[in-house]
Amino acid sequence: LGNIGNVYYNQDQYDKAMEHYQKALTISQKLKKEGEVATNLGNIGNVYYNQDQYDEAMEHYQRALVISKKLGKELLITDNLESIADISIKWGQYEKGLEHYQKALTISQKLKNEVKVAEILGYIGGTYNNLDQYDKAMDYLQRSIILHRKLGDDINAASDIGNIGYT
């Protein structure tokens, strides 16, 4: 059911995605599959986020984060920290957002997940740019560009270069 929800989500059919994610959540709770519960909570949070319902999204991401930490699922922890940071930034809580991004970055570096590291470096750079801390923004964005290029991800490298243009 969760995979069907993903198909609807990727087609921006959020109502149908939500319906499938909710069903998948109910089943995973009944079966006491905590990892799947956390994943489904995060997916529901993503639907709310994309519908600009940030309070509901935050609630689901925080619940997913608690379960992910309990299970030691570091990739899920990282995803939820990023999502919580994104909402914090939307709410203008830049310092709180940076704190969550930094935690996600530390875990991603520990996991040697270079794709995530590059992504988060870019987010941190953009956040510092919003705070008018241009030296820090440049540092993080340049590190992100280098890593994106190393990974052959020219699209995100170009995006980071564009962000430097705003710095």
Is 57 in contact with 42 (CB distance < 8 Å)? no
Whole-number pLDDT of residue 127: 96
Residue 33 DSSP symbol? -
Confidence of residue 42 (pLDDT cuts 50, 70, 90): very high
Is 45 in contact with 29 (CB distance < 8 Å)? no
Amino acid at 148: H
65-87 average pLDDT score: 97
CA atoms within 13 A on the CB side of 97: 21
CA atoms within 13 A on the CB side of 55: 0
Residues 91-142: pLDDT tens digits? 999 999 999 999 999 999 999 999 999 999 999 999 999 999 999 999 999 9
What is the secondary structure of 111-135 as a DSSP string? TT-HHHHHHHHHHHHHHHHHTT-HH
Please, which contacts does 114-120 make with residues 24 or more away whose CB atoms are closer than 8 Å? 114/147, 114/150, 114/151, 115/151, 115/153, 116/78, 117/147, 118/144, 118/147, 118/148, 118/151, 118/153, 118/156, 119/82, 119/144, 119/156, 120/82
Whole-number pLDDT of residue 166: 64
32-61 average pLDDT score: 97
The model carries a pTM of 0.91
Token pair, residue 139, equals 């540092």
Whole-number pLDDT of residue 139: 96
23-37 average pLDDT score: 97
Is 37 in contact with 29 (CB distance < 8 Å)? yes
